[in-house]
Chains A and B, each alone.
Chain A
Amino acid sequence: MNAHPLILEIKNIDVRRGGARVLDVPQLSLRQGHILCLVGPNGSGKSTLLLTMCGLLDRTQGELLFKGLPVDGRPSMLAYRRSTATVFQEPLLFDTTVYDNVASGLKLRGLPRQEIRCRVEHNLERFRISHLARRAARKLSGGEAQRAALARAFATEPEILFLDEPFSGLDPPTREALIDDLERIFRDTGISVVMSSHDQTEALRLADVMVVMRQGSVVQTGSPEEIINFPIDEFVASFVGMGTVLKGKVVEALQDTVMIGVGDQRIECVGEAATGRQVILCIRPEHVTLALPGGKDSDSARNNFTGTITRIISMGHFLKVQLDCGFFLSTHITHQSREVLGLAVGGAVLVSFKATAVHMIAHA
Chain B
Amino acid sequence: MDLIVQGVWKAVVLLVTFDPETWSITLLSLQVSGVATLASLFIGMGAGISLALADFRGKKLLVSIINTGMGLPPVVVGLFVTIMLWRNGPMGFLKLLYTPGAIILAQAVIATPIVAGITIAAIQNLPRNLRLQILALGATRLQMIWLLMREARLPLLAAVMAGFGGVISEVGASIMVGGNIKGYTRVLTTATVMETGRGNFDIAIALGIILLLLTFAVNYILTLVQQHDRPR
Contact = CB atoms under 8 A, between A and B. Distances in A.
- For A51, A54, A88, A109, which residue has the most chain B Cβ atoms within 10 angstroms? A88
B231 interface: yes
A258 to B, nearest CB: 50
Interface in A150-184: 152, 156, 162
A337 B147 CA distance: 58
B132 A88 contact: yes
Contact of A94 (B132, B135, B138, B151): B151
A49 to B, nearest CB: 14
B139 interface: yes
Interface string B103-141: 000000000000000000000000101101101111110
A109 B139 CA distance: 8
Interface string A80-114: 01101110101010111100000011001100000
B64 interface: no
A136 B231 contact: yes
A95 B133 CA distance: 14
B232 interface: yes
B218 to A, nearest CB: 24
A105 B127 contact: no
A30 B49 CA distance: 37
Interface string A57-88: 00000000000000000000010011011101
A96 B230 CA distance: 7
Contact of B136 (A86, A95, A134, A135): A86
A97 B135 CA distance: 20
Given A90-B129, A92-B127, A84 B137 contact: no
A88 B134 CA distance: 11
B150 interface: yes
- For B129, B143, B230, B231, which residue has the most chain A Cβ atoms within 10 angstroms? B231
Contacts of B129: 88, 90, 92
Nearest to B231: A136
Q: Tell me if A's interface is mostly helix, strand, loop or mixed.
A: mixed
B232 A136 contact: yes
A259 B180 CA distance: 102
A175 B140 CA distance: 33
Interface residues of A, number: 27
A56 interface: yes
A105 B138 contact: yes
Contacts of A86: 132-133, 136
A105 B229 CA distance: 20
A105 B147 CA distance: 11
A78 B136 contact: no
B27 to A, nearest CB: 37
A85 B231 contact: no
A92 B132 CA distance: 10
A56 B139 CA distance: 12
Contact of B231 (A54, A97, A105): A97
Contacts of B230: 95, 136
B82 to A, nearest CB: 44
A56 B132 contact: yes
A81 B138 contact: yes
Contacts of A90: 127, 129
A108 B136 contact: no
Contacts of A81: 135-138
A51 B127 CA distance: 16
A203 to B, nearest CB: 22
Nearest to A155: B137
B140 A78 contact: yes
Contacts of A92: 127, 129-130, 133
10 contacts: A51-B132, A78-B140, A81-B135, A88-B129, A88-B133, A92-B127, A94-B150, A95-B150, A104-B147, A108-B138
Given A95-B150, A108-B137, A136-B231, 15 more contacts: A54-B136, A56-B135, A56-B136, A78-B140, A81-B138, A84-B136, A86-B132, A86-B133, A86-B136, A88-B129, A104-B137, A104-B147, A108-B143, A137-B231, A152-B137
